Amino acid sequence: MTMLKKLHMTAAVLALSTTTVAAQEVEVLHWWTSGGEAAAVGTLRDALSDGGVGWVDMPVAGGGGSDAMTVLRARVTAGDPPTAVQMLGFSIQDWAAEGALANLNDLAAEQGWADVVPEALQRFSTYEGNWVAAPVNVHSTNWVWANTALMEELGVEQPGSWDEFVSAMQAAQDAGYTALAHGGQAWQDATVFESMVMGVGGPEFYQASMVDLDPEALGSDMMVEAFQRMETLRGFVDDNFSGRDWNLASAMVINGDALFQIMGDWAKGEFVNAGLTAGEEFTCFRVPGTQDTVTFNSDQFAMFNVSDPAAQEAQTAMASAVMSPEFQITFNLVKGSVPARTDVSADQFDMCGQMGMEQLAEAAAGGTLFGSMAHGHANTPSVQNAMYDVITAHFNGEYDAETAAAELVTAVEIAQ
């Protein structure tokens, strides 16, 4: 942890007396509760401890964060907001619009955040020109995680097309393995679905349907095909998938019980936490058909308005620690994501991390970087939840593909 001792706090924080700083603490609401995620949280807790700031942990289990947002709403309604909250995308904007978030402009200007945070992330870190959140990382969601020993046993090469992907899963199923590890939760279904949309129609179709919410795109033949691909995937999922947490699905691949998992790169944290090495015991590749695009979400910490000066100083210390280049490297090495800053070196990252950083830069430069629908970066929470309902109902067999596309049009129209 020597790297953590080098974290740069702001001059204002460093100038505080030891007695004052020791009295500071941040209450942090988050949903990082799996093994790899908890290890990543530990790096932030240690960084703040080194700066004399205490950490009051408030974890709320649930990979998509919906349960955490319910708890947050109750706390704010009761007039007792946490000092810092893990947030995604449009949720940050919604809370900022309510006037609930603290202004981080002074710290952002002092540390030059605008020069190192990609504009696609600043879209969610700022509100009406004011910094209201500090981005911890960039996750991309269109990944496949694979057990390399199982691939070798089955004679499976890394698939580059949808048909090759299906053939590989069929080989696993025929050999008695689970072809696709999956957890039957709405946000997991949606994570898979957005890659099917991108794979079927490419960037223009994703933009039209998931971001612009064009009714013609939502109800199109290409959307029907995306749902049909979900039906194909459903045939490769084991019978016990319902309600399974995402990290337990990752464990199926880690343990060699399943061949593939479609999941964001937070899954890599589970592989790393299990002692596995990218390119050796496991590998990563983009969902076939989405190789030239990146769908992303970014974990950010929003600071809520608090009146206590000590709490405000602790918030500043936390935001400063989060944005430190050293911390961004340390945290993301453990978490599986890539830094939110563009000025950090990729040298310490593994094969998947370096690939993710390179592809993120290429997508940002080439206009193929898109906010994740499943993770709150493509549309508002009300629309996202409406899509969740249709996608999950279809995956559970309540609709056929044609009906699901029609229901998606209706659900989005009502939710807007």
Tokens 């209450």: give the residue.
27
Helices (H) and strands (E) in the chain, counts: 20, 15
Structure tokens, 28: 């942090």
Report the alpha-carbon distance of residue 211 to residue 226 in Å, rounded: 16
Q: What is the pLDDT of residue 8?
A: 40
Reported confidence tier of residue 292, pLDDT bands at 50, 70, 90? very high
pLDDT digits (tens, 9 = 90+) for 154-202: 999 999 999 999 999 999 999 999 999 999 999 999 999 999 999 999 9
| Mean pLDDT of the region 218-233 | 98
Mean pLDDT check: name the lowest of 47-51, 67-71, 397-401: 47-51
Q: What is the pLDDT of residue 35?
A: 86
Q: Options 3.40.190.10, 3.30.360.10, 3.90.1150.10, 3.40.50.800; which CATH number does 143-295+366-415 get?
A: 3.40.190.10
Tokens 């990609």: give the residue.
118
Q: Nearest to residue 65, comparing CAs of 172, 191, 154? A: 191
Q: What is the pLDDT of residue 59?
A: 93
On the question of pLDDT at 17 being above 70, the answer is no
Q: What is the pLDDT of residue 303?
A: 94
| C-alpha distances in Å from residue 366, one per residue of 185, 200, 294, 362, 370 | 33, 20, 11, 6, 11
Q: Nearest to residue 228, comparing CAs of 200, 256, 255? A: 200
pLDDT averaged over the chain? Answer: 92
Residues in the chain: 416
| Residues 111-129 as b or e (16 or more Cβ within 10 Å = b) | bebeebbbebbbbbbbbee
Q: What is the pLDDT of residue 307?
A: 87
Report the alpha-carbon distance of residue 332 to residue 36 in Å, rounded: 11
Reported confidence tier of residue 248, pLDDT bands at 50, 70, 90? very high
On the question of pLDDT at 3 being above 60, the answer is no
Question: Which residues, 6 or more positions from 356, have their beta carbon under 8 angstroms from its beta carbon?
Answer: 140, 265, 337, 338, 349
| Mean pLDDT of the region 335-362 | 93
Is there a contact between 300 and 133 (Cβ–Cβ < 8 Å)?
A: yes
Higher pLDDT, 66 or 249: 249
User: Within 54-175, where are the H helices?
Assistant: 66-77, 89-97, 105-111, 113-116, 119-125, 148-154, 162-174
Reported confidence tier of residue 246, pLDDT bands at 50, 70, 90? very high
Give burial (CB, 10 Å; 0-12/13-18/19+) of 360.
buried
Q: Where are the domains of the chain?
A: 2-140+297-354, 143-295+366-415
Question: Which residues, 6 or more positions from 123, have their beta carbon under 8 angstroms from its beta carbon?
Answer: none
Q: What is the pLDDT of residue 20?
A: 39
- Share above pLDDT 70 across residues of the chain, in percent, rounded to a whole number: 94
Q: What is the pLDDT of residue 293?
A: 95
Structure tokens, 163: 């048909």
Reported confidence tier of residue 63, pLDDT bands at 50, 70, 90? low
Fold classified for 2-140+297-354: D-Maltodextrin-Binding Protein; domain 2 (3.40.190)
On the question of pLDDT at 237 being above 90, the answer is yes
On the question of pLDDT at 16 being above 80, the answer is no
On the question of pLDDT at 230 being above 50, the answer is yes
Mean pLDDT check: name the lowest of 16-30, 70-84, 339-353: 16-30
CATH topology agreement for domains 2-140+297-354 and 143-295+366-415: yes
Report the alpha-carbon distance of residue 179 to residue 157 in Å, rounded: 14
Question: Which residues, 6 or more positions from 191, have their beta carbon under 8 angstroms from its beta carbon?
Answer: 141, 262, 263, 264, 372, 374, 375
